Structure 1
Amino acid sequence: MSSTLLRKLTRRRTLDDDAMATELNRCLTTFDLILIGIGGTVGSGMYVLAGEIAHEVTGPALFLSFLVAAIASAMSAWCYAEFGCRVPKAGSAYIYTYLTVGEFMAFVIGWNLLLEHIIGAAAVTRGLVGYINAISNNFLLRATPSALSSHHFDPYAPILIIVLAFVVCLGIKQSVIVNNFLTLLNISVALFVIVCGMILADSANWAHFLPNGASSIFEGAAQAYYAFVGYDVITIASEEALTPEFSVPFALAFVVFFVTFLYCSVSVALTLMVPFQLISNDSAFASALDYNGWTWAKNIASAGAIAAMSCTLLGCMITMPRALYAMASDGIIFQSLSKISSDTRVPVVATILGTIKMCLFAFFLELRQLAEFLSIGTLLAYLLIALAVIMLRYHSTDLITGKSFPVSETVPLEGQRRLQLRQLFVLMIFVIIALFTSLCINFAQLTNNDSVYYTCLIFIWIFCCCMIYLLCYLSWISTDNKDYVKSACRVPLVPFLPGVSVFVNIYLMTQLKLETWMRFIIWMALGFMIYFGYGIRNSRLAGDDSENGDKEGIISTKDHDTDSSGKKTSYQ
């Protein structure tokens, strides 16, 4: 029985030859995907987070923190790009994990990404209302009935969500038109702020370039990393892209580079305009322009912040229903959520359900409470996608299509299994050592005891050597199948670059608060009830346990290898 359960938990999807087939509307151009990615990424990270990091951590060296964070983010984006150009399906990290790791871990990723999108939308809406209050002398707050404001309830946040939900229900093309307008407005304001910063620049504000030492650059980079979270909306929207094989990797690369330029440029402008001690945590650019007497420019910066947050909110509302649609189409959550409108070709039921949840969170919870829920799902997704790239490249068959590679014909089936188990074991040990290394780094940062500090440094050095050895060993025992697969984008330096990405995401996960981990446990407990009560029996792959299990239209679970006699064998 345990072997049967394990087989169900690790069963994998594969795509058939017609991977472009979809019920959704394929109408998005490369330009549309780029603006969706920029809109989903550039929001509170530029208008709020930049000010907080500069004021509290880095000072004028803020742009260096964004540059370090960009390098770390680019590694994860590269992993997404390799999958995105080969898997033109909605679901992003969920579907990629389903193809490479298995159904259970795919459910874990998908279930957490759902909450990330819902909570993210609610948090952005609360922040947007707060920003409107800040520039309107608390107009909305004063108009709120005391019975609601006394409990910190917000009746205006759900209204904003419902308005954008209506836009989303009109269709992806209409949603993208609104998104493109808001994104272009956001970019224009950002460039305006950069020009203003250069005009108002005072080099004296950089007199103390590293007020908290060089280590503050990396401390700030750990926080700035979250400003790059959001580009995965491109891969979620890939099922509606006209040419996903080219558009997805190109859009991902362009967004990461452009957003890096934008963040670094506005960081330089901000820290040159005003002493870092006087930078506002809530409205950095507006207050900096006001500090220099440019009140008229302050209003333009505020308009840009509102446009950026609205764009991020719209991005969450576009992608969340598509994540629900992907999971429901596979049967691991309620299949009624996969219903598509015949007129707009939008997952209407998923959009309505997601909107209701967003409204509830935005109405009852404050921004601070919502912020505590964020990040863990995205970081876990980035972690698993980096591991999945290694598994994809070192497997003896194409995990995307299930087809055998020529090299597998020369290796007996039992030998292939032993090699795969050895690879999995090495990756598990690598993840465990990366976790211990991250914990040692945390102890070293927190302790005031010199002996404890240097002991942590010794262990960090030993663990880093072990991780490098494991990656070298994995590379030595494995054969990269890249020569057998045509792909527009490939991650270089496998397994080393994905390995660094794994470590970075594990380290950032250890930085999260205990409340976030408690939320993760509670949310996953609810998800496990749904999966084991419904999903495991109603999965579209459940039929694979019987003779007729491979008749689904776009899904095939047969992962064939060739044994020494040349006979094809299914071993999943």
Structure 2
Amino acid sequence: MWEVMSDPQSSLALPVTRLTRRKTLDQVTAECQSHDLKRTLTATQLTLLGVGATIGAGIYVMTGEAAADYAGPAVLVSFVIAALACLFTAFSYGELSSTLPVAGSAYSYAYVSIGEGAAWTVGWLLLLEYGISCAAVASGLSGYATSLLSDLGVHVPAALSQSTFQTVLSGANLTLTVGPRLDFVGGLAVMIVTALLVRGVQESARVNAVIVVIKVGVLFVFVGFGLQAMHAAYWHPFIPQSEGGFRYGLPGVFRAASIIFFAYVGFEAVSTAAAEARNPRRDVPIGIVLSLVICTAVYILVASVLIGIVPYRELGVADPLAIAVNAMHEPWLALLIKVGATVGLCSVLLGLLYGQTRIFFSMSRDGLIPAAFSRVHPTLRTPWIGTILLGILVAIATATMPLEVISDLVSIGTACAFGIVNFTVIWQRNTRPGITRPFSVPLGGITIGGFWIGIAPALGIAFCVIMTLPLCIDLLRALGNGNPLPAILLGIYIVIGIATYFAYGRSHSRMAQAPFDAD
């Protein structure tokens, strides 16, 4: 199994061999049966988990930015483009989760199909998607909660509601400033959600269900009153004339889609719950696809009303729904929107933090990160130590870091992870055509030279590329304009990921001492 290790001529091949060592389906099946997590989640709870983790900052913040700066009323088309990118990937998640009902989501799928190197890459990208964006959501929650408390007569000083480091845009340059500040509100929200996740997944699912009902209900109240205040003239021109670059026109529509893409990533949290679902092979695919469809419908409905109430150029603010409510002259509705945003972002926080703990659970069981992240509480049946450690790290990041600067980086990481998931379906179909697939990607496929290429996963990869290109172009433009901060952050993140794997993961991997499939 490890003959290459004893061959002195193989020293150059060894690192590659380690990166491509794979788990077998038998190993994955055994892991599914041996974990100590509690199987309690139903299809309905999984769907609500996806909705709860998705509807949040995307509708309360990013819709306004995407419309004002890039797409205008055509932001509705941007929502459809981003939804399609996620839908084809959701189909791929559905097939893989029905075949491999494991807790690690895309990380575990890549480990079986492509190898340890790809699995680590996906796991590191998912940390960017879940862990870092979790801190960004907590930061947004802090802003809404502070504003809500102020309306209720409770003043929270800036020193306790803003992060230690702040970004300042001066011309084309983005610089960091530091001050005696600490986002205590955001950090506290993270620790409250952490305590709930430690308490148990069933309890977390019940709280999430209540929150989802509240926040979706608030959005429908907004739509109901907003329909009476819409102005048809605000919809024209539907696609504003291009002003150069990605500002309006067709390029702006796609740039807006790449921003909105960030708002959809929460649906993937459903796949991380496979180890705790009652019937994962059936319920996880249902939860993934259904939550995505529901969220898309809600997004488009709310965005349609928002654009009809306020001219799109005025929506580039942190709280576009509040601007719309002010234009409707309904003060009580403004307060309700803030309640919905604060409560709603709590469920996003819960879904993202839950997903990250389960991915770390799987990586820890594989030896790629310390064993503490996979230690399950004997009574609560949750990975309690790992959840607490991750909660503390996210709380510290929320309290100190200017996380709004990395939303584009999160979208890049997510698109890369989604692309690997789609490729994994194609790989699995060609290398293991005979395994049982309770759910299969639709639209079929074509065979070229004996190699099967699925239409749905291929479209998923294409849309991920479409989502990534505008982000990468803007990243390069910022670099050329003397704003290297985003590129530096991305470079630092990549270097840390590579160094962590080679310093710890590669040598501690359980596959280093076990037979592996390197075919």
Q: Tell me the TM-score normalised to structure 2 length.
A: 0.83
In 2: Cα distance, 1:226 partner to 1:264 partner: 15
Instruction: Report deviation, 1:334.
Output: 1.6
Aligned mate of 1:139, from 155, 167, 174: 155
Bigger mean CA offset, 269-278 vs 233-242: 269-278
Task: Show CA shifts across 1:60-115 (max 9, x none).
Answer: 23222212221222122222111111111111111111111100111121123224
Q: Is the 8 A contact 1:152 1:366 kept in 2?
A: no
In 1: Cα distance, 2:316 partner to 2:457 partner: 42
In 2: Cα distance, 1:30 partner to 1:126 partner: 30
Q: Is the 8 A contact 1:33 1:248 kept in 2?
A: yes
In 1: Cα distance, 2:14 partner to 2:403 partner: 44
Task: Show CA shifts across 1:350-375 (max 9, x none).
Answer: 11211121121111113434546533
Aligned residue in 2 for 1:57: 70
Aligned identity (percent) is 28
1:341 aligns to 2:377 (yes or no): yes
What amino acid is the match of 2:347? C
Aligned residue in 1 for 2:246: none
Aligned residue in 1 for 2:489: 519
In 2: Cα distance, 1:146 partner to 1:263 partner: 28
Aligned residue in 2 for 1:167: 196
Q: Is the 8 A contact 1:97 1:384 kept in 2?
A: yes
In 2: Cα distance, 1:502 partner to 1:312 partner: 23
Q: Is the 8 A contact 1:167 1:175 kept in 2?
A: yes
Instruction: Report deviation, 1:493.
Output: 2.0
Q: Is the 8 A contact 1:202 1:273 kept in 2?
A: yes
1:540 aligns to 2:510 (yes or no): yes
1:350 aligns to 2:363 (yes or no): no
Q: Structure 1 159/262 Cα, relative in aligned 2: closer, same or farther at 3 Å?
A: same
What amino acid is the match of 2:19? L
Aligned mate of 1:78, from 91, 95, 98: 91
What amino acid is the match of 1:319? G
Task: Show CA shifts across 1:338-392 (max 9, x none).
Answer: 1110111111121121112112111111343454653332122112112222211
Task: Show CA shifts across 1:112-132 (max 9, x none).
Answer: 322432221211111111122
1:212 aligns to 2:241 (yes or no): yes
Q: Is the 8 A contact 1:108 1:524 kept in 2?
A: no
Task: Show CA shifts across 1:197-220 (max 9, x none).
Answer: 212222232243332354133332
Aligned residue in 1 for 2:42: 29
Q: Is the 8 A contact 1:40 1:231 kept in 2?
A: yes
Task: Show CA shifts across 1:133-164 (max 9, x none).
Answer: 33426922357499979444322222111111
Aligned residue in 2 for 1:552: none
In 2: Cα distance, 1:145 partner to 1:237 partner: 32
Instruction: Report deviation, 1:543.
Output: 2.4
Aligned residue in 1 for 2:479: none
1:6 aligns to 2:16 (yes or no): yes
Aligned mate of 1:190, from 210, 219, 229: 219
> RCO greater where, 1 or 2, for CA within 8 Å and sep 6 or more?
2
Q: Structure 1 523/369 Cα, relative in aligned 2: closer, same or farther at 3 Å?
A: same
Q: Is the 8 A contact 1:27 1:241 kept in 2?
A: yes
Query: What is the SS of the residue equivalent to 1:232?
Result: helix
Aligned mate of 1:127, from 119, 140, 144: 140
1:100 aligns to 2:133 (yes or no): no
In 1: Cα distance, 2:125 partner to 2:451 partner: 33
Query: What is the SS of the residue equivalent to 2:102?
Result: coil
Q: Structure 1 260/51 Cα, relative in aligned 2: closer, same or farther at 3 Å?
A: same
In 2: Cα distance, 1:168 partner to 1:509 partner: 33
Instruction: Report deviation, 1:495.
Output: 6.2
In 2: Cα distance, 1:529 partner to 1:60 partner: 45
Could you say which structure has the larger radius of gyration?
1
1:200 aligns to 2:172 (yes or no): no
Query: What is the SS of the residue equivalent to 1:13?
Result: coil
1:294 aligns to 2:330 (yes or no): yes
In 2: Cα distance, 1:5 partner to 1:146 partner: 44
- Segments of 5+ residues of structure 2 without an aligned counterpart are 1-10, 165-177, 243-248, 438-444, 476-483
Matches within 5 A, 1:367-406: 367-369=403-405, 371=407, 374-395=410-431
Q: Structure 1 380/515 Cα, relative in aligned 2: closer, same or farther at 3 Å?
A: farther
Instruction: Report deviation, 1:494.
Output: 5.7
Matches within 5 A, 1:313-462: 313-369=349-405, 371=407, 374-395=410-431
Instruction: Report deviation, 1:500.
Output: 2.0
What amino acid is the match of 1:89? V
Q: Structure 1 293/232 Cα, relative in aligned 2: closer, same or farther at 3 Å?
A: same
- Segments of 5+ residues of structure 1 without an aligned counterpart are 402-471, 481-490, 550-556, 559-570
Q: Structure 1 278/531 Cα, relative in aligned 2: closer, same or farther at 3 Å?
A: closer
What amino acid is the match of 2:491? I
In 2: Cα distance, 1:337 partner to 1:122 partner: 19
What amino acid is the match of 2:12? S
Q: Is the 8 A contact 2:89 2:460 kept in 1?
A: yes
In 1: Cα distance, 2:345 partner to 2:162 partner: 27
Instruction: Report deviation, 1:284.
Output: 1.3
In 2: Cα distance, 1:147 partner to 1:52 partner: 22
Q: Structure 1 124/495 Cα, relative in aligned 2: closer, same or farther at 3 Å?
A: closer
In 2: Cα distance, 1:339 partner to 1:399 partner: 31
In 2: Cα distance, 1:119 partner to 1:233 partner: 14
Query: What is the SS of the residue equivalent to 1:323?
Result: helix
Q: Is the 8 A contact 1:380 1:505 kept in 2?
A: no
Q: Structure 1 146/362 Cα, relative in aligned 2: closer, same or farther at 3 Å?
A: closer
What amino acid is the match of 1:68? I
Bigger mean CA offset, 107-116 vs 245-254: 107-116
Aligned residue in 2 for 1:504: 466
In 1: Cα distance, 2:296 partner to 2:140 partner: 23
1:478 aligns to 2:450 (yes or no): yes
Bigger mean CA offset, 37-46 vs 247-256: 247-256
Task: Show CA shifts across 1:414-468 (max 9, x none).
Answer: xxxxxxxxxxxxxxxxxxxxxxxxxxxxxxxxxxxxxxxxxxxxxxxxxxxxxxx
Q: Is the 8 A contact 1:15 1:400 kept in 2?
A: no
Task: Show CA shifts across 1:228-280 (max 9, x none).
Answer: 11111010111111111111111111112111111111111111122223335
In 2: Cα distance, 1:145 partner to 1:98 partner: 41
Q: How many residues align?
A: 468
Aligned residue in 1 for 2:285: 249
In 2: Cα distance, 1:147 partner to 1:373 partner: 19
Query: What is the SS of the residue equivalent to 2:368?
Result: coil
In 2: Cα distance, 1:51 partner to 1:37 partner: 23
Q: RMSD of aligned C-alpha atoms?
A: 2.7
Q: Is the 8 A contact 1:63 1:265 kept in 2?
A: no
Instruction: Report deviation, 1:511.
Output: 4.3
Q: Is the 8 A contact 2:259 2:408 kept in 1?
A: no
